[in-house]
Structures are given as C-alpha cells and as structure tokens.
C-alpha cells in the first residue's frame, strides 16, 4: 500500500512539474480569466490575484485548478450565472462569488457543476447569490470549508445554498451556510456524506433530503432555521452527533421525518426547538442516545409509524415529552431517561419499577387547541394530567416506557 | 400610622404560623435543591408550589388575621385616627410579613445556592416578585371578605372558594371555553382570560421565560406576538396593578362605611 501511495505521489509531482501556474490580475500577463483559461491545459493552475472581476457564464471543461488569492471576487456582470464546471477534476479554491440575482426562469448559481466528477470546491465564499453551489448529476466531489451567506427574505424568490440533484458520492464538509431557502438540498443524491457544517438562519430547511438514499450526516449544527433538517421519502439515512438548536417558527421542527425508512438517529442533541422531531409515516427508525433538552415537544408522531425503536434517550425538561396522533404499532419505547418521571427503583437495578407514560392529556389537548398553551403548568392542568395518568381515558394506553432509566444516559 | 403598622407587624411575627409557613418554603426549596442540584429545576418546581400556595395562604392568613384583630381595630377607632390609616396599616403589617416569608423561604436559599450567577436569575426575580404580588393581592381580597362578613366560618369558606376559583376552576373554565370554541379565532379570548386572573398572569410571566417561547410556533399569530412582545408584558403589569388598586379602593370605601 505504501508503495502505491508513493508512486501516486511521485506521479503527482511529475504532473505538477509539468503543470503551469498562470496569474491573473490587471498588471499580469493575463488580465482576465478568459485569457488565462484559453491557453491553459489540463492540470494547469490559474491564480486570480486580489481584485474584482466582472464575469458571467464561464464554462470550465478542462481539469484546471482555479485559486483565488485574498480579495479575488467573481462578480456576476448582469446578475446571471457565474461559473459552470462541465469537465472532470476541476478544483476551485478561495474565490469569492457574488451578485447572482434571483431569476424566476433560470436557477442561476455561483458555481454550477454539470455532469462532472472529482471536483473540489474549497474555502470559497458566496455572498448573496441566488443559488450558491448547484450540483447537477455530479459525482465524487468535495464541497469543503465554504462560507455561503445569502440574503433570502421570502421562500418563493430565494434559492438554496448547496443544491444537489441526481448526484452520487458527494462530501459536503465544514461549510457555513446561512440566509438561503434551504441550506443544503439533496434530491436523488445517494451515498453522500455531510459533516461538520453549520447551517443557520435559512428560511425553510437547514438541510433537506428528497428521494435520497444511503446518506450520512454527522456532527452538523442546525440553528434557527424554519426547520432544522427535513428528511423526506428517503431510505437508510444515518444521522449522528448533530446539534439541532432553536429551530422555531410557524411550523418549526428540529427534525422533520416524512416517509423515510430504515434510518438511524443516534447521539444527536435537540435543544429549544418547538418540536424536536416530527415524524410522519416513517418505519424502522432507530432513535438511540439522543438528548432532548427543553423543547416544546420532544417527539410528535403523526400517523403510520411502525417498528421504530426509541431506546436510551434522555428527555430533559421538555414542556411535553411526546404526542401520538394515531395508533403506533410495534414500536419499542424502553430504557429512556425522562426528567418528568416520578417513579421509584426498589430493586436498585437503575431502572424504574413503574412504567412512564410520555403522552400526557394536556399534550393531547394542545394538539387540538394550540391556544391552550397559556394553561401550561397550571394547577388545573397538573391535576387533570394526574387523573389521566391514574386512569387513562383519552391518552393512548399502549405508548409507555416499561423500564425508564433512573439516571441520565451518558 | 407607622406605629400601627409596626404593631401589626410585630403581632404577625409573633404568630407561630408565620414561622411554619416560612419554614415550609425553606425546607421545600432546600430539599428540592439537594435532590436535583439544578437551579432551573428548583425554580420550575417552586413556581408550581408558590403560585398555588401564596394565594391560598394569603387568603387564609388574611381572613383569620382580620378576625383576630377586630377588637384591636375597634379599639383604635376610638382614637383620633382616620379609618383609612387604621385599615391600611393593619393590612400593611400582614402583607409585609407574608412577603418577607416568601423572600426568606424561597429567596434566601436560592441566593445561597448561587442563583445570581446563573442564567435563571431573571426567572428567579420574576418568581419572587410574583409571589409577593400574589400575597399582597390575595391577602387584600381576604381582608375585604372578612370585613364584609362578620361570621368567621362564612368568611373563611368564601376565602377558600375564591382560591379554588382563581387557582383551579378558572383554568378549567378557560380550557373548556377553548375546547368548545376551537373552530373560532381564540387569540383575543385567551389574552382576556390571562389578564383577568392574577395567578394566570404570574404563571404566564414565568413560563414565558421558561418554555412558552419554544411553543410559540403553535399559537396563533396575535397570541404569540402578545406573549413575545414587550407590550404584552406591559399589559400584564398594568393588569396586576389594577388588581392591587381596585381592592385598595374598595378597602377604603368599605373601611369608611364599616359599621361595627
């Protein structure tokens, strides 16, 4: 293996020796990107020195590396699309893109990648672009360390930060995305990895999956979006160690699951969301070791959820722990820690001896009459909840944790 | 006036029930803290306890205190003192004692457990203020009830009825109204319902800091702006002041016309 790496390294050094670096600036040999690009071959590097370049509809189909020195900005000349990558092996680094305006006919983007593979977009900045990075049938690419800041005001006339459509094997890592419609949007994107991104203040979703399978997102932070993450019509999505924080608004969820199957939600932290997880028609999902802290609702199940397992989670000081709108079949809720649990543990095995019923009557009422939120924590509601707990009439008898943990799961 | 106030304060302080009341708060706060070790948790529990208990104790102490000091008041009447002065001073002694009990019972241990350094400080301050306000309002109402009805049993039962109404029945009726009229816009109704009940107002002020903000998305637009904006808080404060002022005015009227 070492030998292979060595020979790859050797080959690379040979290539880089052959490759040419061309600088572009007003006083350099090449005054514009086009001049430099026209004489470049595969493997060459074009280095944009600091300054603003008014460009539009650039098409790159040679495997070049485009590097922006500090302050190098590509500004859309008339607000259209800036750069389209139509060839394999293109690297873009450190450039700033700005001035792509909203267009109701075309989805103009700062960088569009069309039917290419092995691309890298790193450490770029996108200021107020309609779409920032638009991936279209792209494969094996990396989008890393970019700063994507939009100025979206309304959902209808704003675009997505990173938009991926029919892609495969992408890595979207360490980006900061704010002020767009969706921070990251995946449609028909498989086998991809999304990690360590910070997506905040987006109008609709921080991260959005549609019809995408076998993807992972790990260690991201979603803050103050309309909805933190929406996963819809997708299979085998792995969600791990993410942080969902303060997603509230009119239909505000930390995580929205709709028609998804075989997913795992592990070790995430949901804090201060209106609804931490909203689930609709999702089967075989594993919830494990998540922390739900001070949310309005921790989990809200709508109809048609089967064979989910909710095990070893911490439910800490949520206003209401759970709501189940329809009957749940074959779901496992066991060994969670509920801060509202008032049972005892006489045999000292760390598990409570009486079951915990997470669906309270008031949670039921609030679902019907949202205004009744003003009666939260009132003595009357406590009494009614208690009475309901002793002899359930309205709340489902079959949703309970038979052995709740006495101490927080670490 | 000062002398009467001082006398009635000492009179209250000499009663062992005040100590039991204070000790109850002290023990509850301390034991809750020892159990959970978490200031915000203690504050949530103490909110539930104080919001229910301060009005009840205010009402019970208020009525019994008035009945006990009836002879004293009658004796003072023979002196060249204005009636308003006598009543407000006797009542003042009671109100001060009740507030002091809450401040010592809940405030002191929390201060000791370092509530000042945490982000829960604002909740703590609101809790103390509202506990005192509720004590003041409800002991005043109790005074009025006791002045109106000379029969002790009657006065006490009416006081308890008032507590039941404001602390429990009222919320039940509101919930019922909300459920019955759920097909209509309910924002105005709910705002009205909050503003008319001092216990609800206190609770809303506290849960606005605690968890209602997380549920904002689920309430109607008018309601969430009401709860979120400063004018909502302003309206609540105004309403609380009215709740203190109106009984004070009727204390004056009742006092001036009271025939012993």
What is B198-257 written as a DSSP string? Answer: HHHHHHHHHHHHHTHHHHGGGS-HHHHHHHHSHHHHHHHHHHHHHHHHHHHHHHHHHHHH
By DSSP bridging, strand A182-190 and strand A171-173 are unpaired
What Cα–Cα distance (Å) separates residue B206 from each residue in A99, A213, B44, B222?
A: 46, 45, 9, 20
List the domain boundaries for chain B: 2-257
**Low-confidence residues of chain A, pLDDT below 70?**
1-18, 249-251
Return the pLDDT at A163: 95
What does the pLDDT read at residue B201? 87
**Residues B146-184: tens digit of each pLDDT:** 999 999 999 999 999 999 999 999 999 999 998 898 888
- Residue B248 phi/psi, 5° resolution? -60, -45
- pLDDT tens for B181-206 read 888 887 778 888 888 899 988 888 88
| A–B interface: beta-carbon pairs under 8 A | 102
Q: How far is A356 from chain B (nearest CA, A)?
A: 19
CB contact under 8 A, B41 and A317: yes
Supply φ then ψ for residue A242, to 5 degrees.
-95, 160
* Nearest by CB: B178 against A295, A339, A372: A372
DSSP state of A102: P
Of the candidates B198, B193, B197, the one whose C-alpha atom is nearest the C-alpha of residue B226 is B193
pLDDT for residue A16: 53
The average pLDDT across B209-219 equals 57
- Residue A47 near residue A21 (C-beta atoms within 8 A): yes
Chain A CB contacts of B211 below 8 Å: 294, 296, 317, 319, 376
CA–CA gap between residue B227 and residue B225 (Å, rounded): 5
- Do B212 and A380 lie within an 8 Å CB cutoff? no
Nearest to A402 by CA among A339, A341, A326, A317: A341
Q: Name residue, tokens 């293109």.
A: A90
Task: Supply the pLDDT for residue A17.
Answer: 52
CA A374 to chain B, closest CA, distance in angstroms equals 7
Q: Is the ipTM of this complex over 0.85?
A: no
Please tell me which residue of chain A has the smallest CA distance to B193.
A374
What does residue A359 show for φ and ψ, rounded to 5 degrees?
-95, 110
* Stronger pLDDT, B127 or B12, i.e. the higher one: B127
Closest-CA residue of chain A to B46? A377
DSSP string, A50-64: SEEEEE--EEE-S--
Nearest to B211 among A250, A296, A365 (CB): A296
Q: Tell me the torsion sign for CA atoms B17, B19, B22, B23.
A: negative
What is the model's pLDDT at position A112?
A: 94
Structure tokens at B185: 């816009």
Residue in B closest to A379 by C-alpha: B168
Task: Give the β-pairing of A253-258 and A21-24.
Answer: unpaired
Mutation to test the A interface, candidates B32, B50, B217, B232, most A Cβ within 10 Å: B217
Q: Looking at CA atoms only, how far is residue A278 from chain B in angstroms? A: 13
More confident residue, B217 or B187: B187
Say what the pLDDT of residue A106 is.
87
The mean per-residue pLDDT over the stretch B65-80 comes to 89
> What is the nearest CA distance from B133 to chain A, expressed in angstroms?
18
Q: Residue A370: which of B47, B169, B220 has the nearest Cβ?
A: B220
Dist. CA A376–CA B136, nearest whole Å: 24
**Reduced to 3 states, what is the DSSP secondary structure of residue B5?**
helix
* H helix count then E strand count, chain B: 14, 0
Is any Cβ of chain B less than 8 angstroms from the Cβ of A366?
yes
A381 close to A374: Cβ distance less than 8 angstroms? no
How far, in Å, CA of A247 to CA of A254, rounded?
6
The pair of structure tokens assigned to B128 is 């103390």
| pLDDT at site A371 | 78
- Biggest CA–CA distance in chain A, Å, is 85
- Residue A381 pLDDT: 87
Percent of chain B with pLDDT over 70: 92
Interior/surface letters A249-288, b for 16+ CB within 10 angstroms, e for the rest:
eeebbbbbbbebbbbbbbbbbbbbbbbbbbbbbbbbbbbb
Domains and CATH numbers, chain A: 20-225 (2.160.20.10)
Contacts B188 to A, Cβ<8 Å: none
Please tell me the distance in Å from B1's CA to the nearest CA on chain A: 39
Contacts of A77 (CB under 8 A, 6+ apart): A54, A55, A56
Alpha carbons within 13 A on the beta-carbon side of A317: 18
Query: How large is the average pLDDT for residues B13-23?
Result: 89
For A371, the closest of B41, B172, B186 (CB atoms) is B186
Round to whole Å and give the CA distance between B69 and A316: 49
Q: Is B236 on the interface with A (CB under 8 A)?
A: no
Please give the pLDDT value at position B245: 93
CB pair distance less than 8 Å for B179 and A369:
yes
In a mutagenesis test of the B interface, which of A246, A368, A375 is the best target, namely the one with the most B β-carbons within 10 Å? A375
Among A292, A293, A374, most B C-beta atoms within 10 A, so best to mutate, is: A374
Average pLDDT rounded to a whole number, residues B29-51? 84
Name every chain A residue with its beta carbon within 8 A of the beta carbon of B200: 374, 378
Q: Chain B: nearest CA to A383, how far in angstroms?
A: 9
Residue of A nearest to B170 (CA): A380
DSSP A250: T
Is residue B229's pLDDT more than 70?
no
pLDDT number for residue B162: 95
CA nearest to A238, candidates A258, A209, A259: A209
Query: Any CB–CB contact under 8 A between B40 and chain A?
Result: yes
Exposure string for B133-166, b = 16+ CB within 10 A, e = fewer: bbbbbbbbbbbbbbbebeeeeebbebbeebbeeb
Which tokens is A330 given?
Answer: 């074959």
Give the pLDDT confidence of B91-117 residue by residue, as tens digits.
Answer: 999 999 999 999 999 999 888 887 777
């Amino acid at each position: 293996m070492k030998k292979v790496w060595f020979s790859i390294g050797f080959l690379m050094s040979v290539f880089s020796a052959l490759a040419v670096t061309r600088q572009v600036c007003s006083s350099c040999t090449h005054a514009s990107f086009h001049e430099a690009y026209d004489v470049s071959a595969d493997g060459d590097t074009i280095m944009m020195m600091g300054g603003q370049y008014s460009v539009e509809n650039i098409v790159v189909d040679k495997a070049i590396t485009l590097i922006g020195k500090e302050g190098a900005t590509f500004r859309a000349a008339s607000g259209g699309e800036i750069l389209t990558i139509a060839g394999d092996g293109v690297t873009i680094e450190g450039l700033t893109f700005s001035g792509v305006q909203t267009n109701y006919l075309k989805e103009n983007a700062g960088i569009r990648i069309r039917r290419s593979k092995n691309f890298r977009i790193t450490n770029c900045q996108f200021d107020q672009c309609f779409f920032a990075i638009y991936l279209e049938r792209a494969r094996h690419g990396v989008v890393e360390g970019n700063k994507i800041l939009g100025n979206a005001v309304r959902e209808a006339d704003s675009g997505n930060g990173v938009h991926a459509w029919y892609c495969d094997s992408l890595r979207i890592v360490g980006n900061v995305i704010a002020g767009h419609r969706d921070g990251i949007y995946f449609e028909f994107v498989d086998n991809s990895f999304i990690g360590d991104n910070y997506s905040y203040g987006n109008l609709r979703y921080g991260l959005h999956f549609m019809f995408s399978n076998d993807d992972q997102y790990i260690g991201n932070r979603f803050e103050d979006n309309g909805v933190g993450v929406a996963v819809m019509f997708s299979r085998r999505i792995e969600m791990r160690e993410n942080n969902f924080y303060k997603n509230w608004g009119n239909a505000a969820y930390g995580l929205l699951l709709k028609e998804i199957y075989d997913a795992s939600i592990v070790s995430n932290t949901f804090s201060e969301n209106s609804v931490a997880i909203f689930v609709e028609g999702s089967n075989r999902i594993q919830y494990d070791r998540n922390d739900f802290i001070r949310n309005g609702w921790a989990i809200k199940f709508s109809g048609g959820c089967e064979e989910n397992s909710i095990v070893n989670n911490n439910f800490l000081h949520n206003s209401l722990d759970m709501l189940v709108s329809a009957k749940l079949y074959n779901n496992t809720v066991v060994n969670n820690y509920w801060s509202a649990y008032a049972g005892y543990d006489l045999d000292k095995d760390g598990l409570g001896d009486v079951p915990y019923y997470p669906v309270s009557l008031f949670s039921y009422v609030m679902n019907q009459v949202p205004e009744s939120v003003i009666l939260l924590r009132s003595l009357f509601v406590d009494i009614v909840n208690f009475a309901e707990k002793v002899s359930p009439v309205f709340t489902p008898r079959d949703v309970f944790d038979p052995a709740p943990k006495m101490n927080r799961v670490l | 006036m000062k002398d009467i106030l001082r006398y009635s304060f000492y009179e209250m302080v000499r009663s062992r029930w005040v100590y039991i009341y204070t000790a109850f708060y002290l023990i509850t706060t301390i034991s809750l803290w020892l159990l959970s070790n978490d200031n915000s948790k203690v504050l949530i529990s103490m909110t539930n306890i104080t919001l229910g208990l301060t009005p009840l104790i205010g009402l019970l102490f208020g009525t019994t205190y008035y009945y006990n000091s009836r002879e004293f008041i009658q004796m003072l009447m023979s002196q060249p003192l204005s009636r308003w002065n006598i009543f407000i001073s006797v009542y003042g002694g009671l109100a001060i004692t009740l507030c002091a009990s809450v401040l010592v019972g809940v405030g002191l241990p929390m201060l000791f457990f370092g509530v000042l350094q945490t982000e829960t400080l604002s909740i703590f301050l609101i809790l103390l203020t509202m506990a005192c306000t509720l004590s003041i309002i409800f002991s005043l109402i109790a005074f009025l009830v006791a002045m109106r009805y000379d029969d002790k049993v009657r006065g006490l039962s009416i006081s308890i009825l008032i507590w039941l109404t404001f602390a429990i029945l009222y919320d039940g009726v509101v919930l019922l109204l909300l459920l019955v009229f759920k097909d209509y816009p309910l924002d105005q109704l709910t705002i009205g319902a909050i503003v008319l009940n001092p216990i609800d107002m206190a609770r809303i002020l506290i849960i606005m800091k605690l968890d209602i903000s997380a549920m904002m998305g689920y309430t109607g637009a008018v309601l969430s702006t009401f709860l979120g904006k400063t004018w909502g808080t302003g309206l609540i404060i105004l309403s609380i002041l009215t709740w203190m002022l109106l009984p004070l005015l009727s204390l004056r009227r009742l006092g001036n016309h009271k025939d012993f």
